[in-house]
Structure 1
Amino acid sequence: MKIAISGKGGVGKTTFVAALAKVFKEAGKKVIAIDADPVSNLAVTLGFMKGSEIIPISQMKDLIKERTGASDEYGKFFKLNPTVSDLPEKLSLEHEGIKLMVLGAIKHGGSGCACPESAFLRTLLSHLIVQRDEVVLVDMEAGVEHLGRATVKAVDVLIVIVEPGSKSIQTAFQVKKLAEDIGLTSVYAVGNKVASEEHKAFIQNGLDGIPLLGFISYDEKILESDIKGIAAFAENNKLLEEICQIKNKLEEIVKEK
């Protein structure tokens, strides 16, 4: 199963990805989580020790130059499809049975290394989604810029995380439109930080046309986990139960496709 997760900044997207990785792993699945958000904090949310010190692959300049054949001079030729098949094993980290790769920011235009870097990271992401046999979860920024037209064919579901708020709802529709423009039509939403039936109703009414997979309750324990420096799902059975229900719905959707 290949799942991309998007949403406005601050809605709890990374917490969702971490908890979903946990419940898939507990269900006996092989899981690899991909941090493709420029603000990389999935490692910390998964409970990796010194997760904030992990160097994103986008900053591995020597590796990118080696694989793309790029020079330091702007405008020089480089490989659009560099070899990356060996990198998931070499560069992924593992914690409690969950693999992680931190891609970092994909730059656009400007500096001489931006184009080779972008080609390299997009090729790596495409390989992870298309070729790997794990459950692949991609934590993305609020958009689908990382996904090429070929890659989206392998994505089973795009999930947009929303919270009770008009800006979050608006972002969901923007992401849905961008996804449809490149042929990704299997778009769903998850309501997060829900503290009341009014919150549920607001999200349901606002997302008219985007099917909901479920809701995640507002929980101070998630904030406490960040303060303690532990995984977002640690000591939080309620979160894992709600995420497990969403996982079950995802599996039903993919079986029907």
Structure 2
Amino acid sequence: MSDQPHERPAPGAPDFRVEEHESVGSTNSLCFDRARGGHSGNLWIRAGMQTEGRGRRGRDWESPSGNLFASLLLIDPQPSERIGELPLAAAVALADAVDKAAGTLQLVSLKWPNDLLVDGAKLSGILLEAEILSDGRQAVVLGFGVNCVSHPPLSLYPATDLRSLGFQVSAERLFDVLPGILADLLAAWRQPGGFGTIRRSWLSRAAHLGKPITVKTAQEDISGIFADLDERGHLVLKQDDGRQRTIYAGDVFLSGN
């Protein structure tokens, strides 16, 4: 992989390009650099390692060599009012890509909104970030971090990696299948009612559906039963008094953990 910007067709996704690097600060940040420079989007940026990787809510994301670090730049993805559904679509695509690369069926479950788990341990994270550019375009970046050969000792949640689970899946192998699967899912998402199919796929892998959970939001901790996803992908929590509450953002934990 070269440290000079050079694009090639993304594997399995002829309408997308990929730029590869040995090491970058953050693939998400580099996507925004390309967007600010006028790039038209549909660009993957992949790195062998990151020195400034980040997760949701500004947390650090450890990025050692051998794991997958890749981000996708989209410009003005439509329908724009449904961009909040994209992290769930990305999680379904990544879960399907792991199955395809590892030769498994439903290996991973999904923790709302977009973490991949195996037996309760975190295998990957997905970070969506967006920015309105100076020319009025909207840049949306989906960043993927997958533990292929190693995993960090996360304090909030136990972690795992594919090698520890007995699967010899390299970052290269996983990236060979991810762009094509995500491109197909994005095409489906753009159709009227397209999120409905994605929502059903997400729920089929839901880790905590029907279980007591606590959602830690920026304002409070809320407990109840994970009852459903609404039509926009928000978490629907059934509280002890029987009322349902819709959660738009937060970290999910099994109650008692």
What band does the TM-score fall into relative to the shorter chain?
under 0.3
TM-score w.r.t. the length of structure 2 is: 0.24
Higher strand share: 2
Higher helix share: 1
Higher relative contact order (CA 8 A, sep 6+): 1
TM-score w.r.t. the length of structure 1 is: 0.24
